[in-house]
Each structure stands twice: as structure tokens, then as C-alpha cells.
């Protein structure tokens, strides 16, 4: 029995903002306001990076005190956000601060011999963690993409070798924390590190086209979906926005419906847990009670990525090119309609 499948092609260069508008129903003035808020956040981060590239990780405004506590994994994640913002704004000061932070990250990379050859780890307080290597790659890949500067590609590849060497035949990442130097593997099973590692492989792949990174990502995703999370009820499923990012990109390279279906499931679970009718209207759209800003931001990121693939939305420069691409892929029997608002080309096929 055939099943109809509707594909939407957006005849614009950037599809994600349109999807966000359709999901959240933002007002026409909301997008500029959001970018303004992002710029303000970027200015704060720019000011927070010292001359050595280290962030003021925690700041107490009541005492003007910066505690010595630090987390290099979140350092890497913050660099990634700065590079994403730089790609939108071209802010020279933001880039300069980001480069200093990248320098700090690179100086904490230590070479290590692995079962797969020479690798490297991001080391903090004598330990390497899967999440550190993964988010370092994600951050450096975004820097490379936005600036065209490929000087960190060799480092990214060595960091990826360590990740690959720590994955077993089932796809499970069995090395998530390791003593450096010495190499002793410390038992650790993080909920989020595997999704970050899968995303790292997918962000590295476009830079060097090594299929081995896609293989690591595919095996890792299948393990999470078919083994680790297989029997979990929706209420117990981790709200893993890193995995949503990864599944969105992995599905573009390896068209396995398992990835798409799990992404949709994750999105459904996240949406169902959102505060939609809180007592305080300012908390609408948040997560947890009391509401927390970081989960709200990260889950929103993941939802936009999942929705982009879940709705089968691709971008095209013009309506004519969208129609030509649809005819080329789906044949002359495909039914198409052009919607002026957008504009969109809708394609209905049989599968």
C-alpha cells in the first residue's frame, strides 16, 4: 500500500527562521528583537573573556566576585555560541574574543596515542572527557566554517580519533572519562556526551569528507536509539538537544527512518513537558518549576533542528529552482503547488 509524503521546499536561503515563526507565531518585530538580545549576550561574553582566553565562568554581581570554579566543556560550548553569533553579525570584537577563547581551548589539548593512532584530548584537572573533545570539535568546526581559517583542522581530526577509539562495536562510547597522563579509563556514563560526540563527527565531516566520521555517528546514534533508550518511556527520555542537532544532520547523510522517527519522538516529548499555562505568564514556554533559562534555550535549539528535517523542508534560491529540483528528484508525476506566502513549493509523492 502506497503512502503519501508531502515535501515542502522553501524558496529562500534560510529555512530555520521561517519554521520558528510558524511554530512560535512570533510577531513581525520579534526577529530583530531576538537578534538584538543575541548581540547583547555576545557583548557580555566578549567582555567575559580575559587576555588568556578564559571566561569569567561564574560572576556574582552582588559582590563583584568571580569564583575560581571552571568547566572547560562549557567553555567549548560557549565558544560555539560565539562563533554562531559571529556568523550572523560579523562583529570583529566578538571574533577577537572568540579567538582568545579558542587559544585557551587549544592549549589544553594534549596528544595521546590511541588504538586508532595518534589522537588528542581536551584535558582539565588531569582528566579528558568525551564531552570536552566533542564540543571542542563543534566549536572549532563552526570557527572554521565562519572564518575560512582551517588551521585547527589537524587538531579536530586528532580529537575525533580519540572519540572514535573510545567507541565499541555496538556503537556505545565506552571511554567517556580518562586520566591524562596514564590512560586509566574512569567509569562514567553521561546522558549528553554521546549526542555531543555524534554531532562532533557530523560537523567535522564536511571539512575533510572522511566517511569514517559518519560511520562513528551512525553507529553511535543507532546504539542510543535501539539499545540505550529502546525501552524508555517518554517520561524518562532525555531531552537531548545535542542529539536532535545530530539526528537532523545525520539523516541528511544516512537516510535511515530510525533517525527521523526518533527525532520526532524527542521533539514530541520536549514539547509535552513545556510550561504552557504557568501562573506567571512570563514563564510561558519554559521548562521545570521554578523555570530555568538554560533548559529553555537548549531545548529550543534542538526543536528548530528537528522540525527542519521532520517537516522535510529544504531551501532553494528561487521558486523556479525549487520546482526543477522537485521534478528532478520525484519525477513528472509528482503533484506540486506553489504558495505565495513564503514562498513555498509543496510536492506530494507516493512511497
Q: Are 205 and 213 in contact (CB under 8 A)?
A: yes
pLDDT (0 to 100) of residue 272:
86
pLDDT (0 to 100) of residue 341:
43
Number of residues assigned to the chain? 351
Residue 6 confidence (pLDDT) above 70: no
Residue 15 confidence (pLDDT) above 60: no
Beta-bridge partner residues of 29: none
Order of strands across the sheet that contains 313-315 = 313-315, 4-10, 344-350, 335-339
The long-range contacts involving 177-186, CB below 8 angstroms and separated by at least 24 positions, are: 177/127, 177/128, 177/129, 177/130, 178/121, 178/127, 178/128, 178/129, 179/126, 179/127, 180/110, 180/112, 180/121, 180/123, 180/126, 180/127, 180/128, 181/110, 183/112, 186/127
DSSP 225: I
The long-range contacts involving 215-219, CB below 8 angstroms and separated by at least 24 positions, are: 216/160, 216/163, 216/164, 216/167, 217/246, 217/250, 218/171, 218/250, 218/254, 218/256, 219/167, 219/170, 219/171
Domain boundaries, the chain: 49-228
Place 13 in a pLDDT band, splitting at 50, 70 and 90: very low
Assign domain 49-228 to its CATH architecture: Alpha/alpha barrel (1.50)
pLDDT (0 to 100) of residue 291:
87
CA distance 234 to 266: 8
What pTM, to 2 d.p., does this model score?
A: 0.80
pLDDT (0 to 100) of residue 234:
94
Task: List the helix and strand counts (H, then E) for the chain.
Answer: 12, 8
pLDDT in tens, 217-251: 999 999 999 999 999 999 999 999 999 999 989 99
Q: Is 49 exposed, middle or buried (0-12, 13-18, 19+ CB in 10 A)?
A: buried
Q: What is the average pLDDT across 178-194?
A: 97
pLDDT in tens, 43-87: 999 999 999 999 999 988 889 999 999 999 999 999 999 999 999
pLDDT (0 to 100) of residue 10:
42
Percent of the chain's residues with pLDDT above 90: 61
Of 114-118, 219-223, 249-253, 307-311, the one with minimum mean pLDDT is 307-311
Nearest to 342 by CA among 14, 18, 16: 18
pLDDT (0 to 100) of residue 32:
60
Amino acid at each position: 500500500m502506497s503512502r503519501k509524503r508531502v515535501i515542502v521546499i522553501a524558496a529562500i536561503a534560510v529555512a530555520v527562521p521561517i519554521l520558528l515563526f510558524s511554530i512560535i507565531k512570533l510577531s513581525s518585530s520579534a526577529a530583530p528583537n531576538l537578534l538584538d538580545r543575541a548581540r547583547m549576550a555576545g557583548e557580555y561574553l566578549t567582555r567575559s573573556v580575559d587576555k588568556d582566553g578564559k571566561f569569567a565562568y561564574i560572576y556574582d554581581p552582588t559582590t563583584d566576585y568571580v569564583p575560581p570554579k571552571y568547566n572547560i566543556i562549557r567553555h567549548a560550548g560557549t565558544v560555539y555560541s560565539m562563533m554562531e553569533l559571529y556568523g550572523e553579525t560579523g562583529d570583529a570584537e566578538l571574533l577577537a574574543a572568540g579567538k582568545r577563547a579558542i587559544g585557551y581551548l587549544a592549549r589544553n589539548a594534549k596528544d595521546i596515542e590511541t588504538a586508532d593512532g595518534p589522537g588528542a584530548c581536551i584535558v582539565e584537572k588531569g582528566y579528558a572527557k568525551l564531552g570536552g573533545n566533542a564540543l571542542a570539535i563543534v566549536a572549532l568546526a563552526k570557527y572554521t566554517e565562519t572564518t575560512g581559517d582551517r588551521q585547527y583542522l589537524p587538531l579536530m581530526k586528532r580529537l575525533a580519533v580519540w572519540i572514535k577509539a573510545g567507541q565499541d562495536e555496538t556503537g556505545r562510547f565506552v571511554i567517556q572519562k580518562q586520566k591524562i597522563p596514564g590512560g586509566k579509563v574512569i567509569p562514567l556514563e553521561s546522558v549528553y556526551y554521546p549526542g555531543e560526540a555524534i554531532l562532533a563527527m557530523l560537523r567535522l565531516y564536511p571539512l575533510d569528507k572522511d566517511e569514517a566520521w559518519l560511520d562513528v555517528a551512525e553507529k553511535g546514534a543507532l546504539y542510543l536509539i535501539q539499545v540505550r533508550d529502546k525501552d524508555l518511556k517518554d517520561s524518562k527520555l532525555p531531552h537531548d538537544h545535542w542529539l536532535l542537532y545530530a539526528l537532523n544532520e545525520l539523516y541528511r547523510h544516512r537516510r535511515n527512518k530510525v533517525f527521523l522517527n526518533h527525532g520526532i519522538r524527542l521533539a514530541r516529548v520536549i514539547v509535552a513537558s513545556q510550561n504552557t499555562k504557568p501562573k506567571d505568564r512570563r514563564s510561558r514556554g519554559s521548562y521545570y518549576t521554578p523555570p530555568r533559562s538554560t533548559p529553555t534555550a537548549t531545548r529550543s535549539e534542538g526543536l528548530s533542528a528537528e522540525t527542519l528535517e521532520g517537516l522535510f523542508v529544504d531551501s532553494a534560491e528561487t521558486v523556479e529552482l525549487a520546482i526543477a529540483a522537485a521534478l528532478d528528484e520525484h519525477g513528472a508525476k509528482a503533484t506540486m503547488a506553489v504558495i505565495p506566502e513564503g514562498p513555498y513549493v509543496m510536492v506530494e509523492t507516493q512511497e
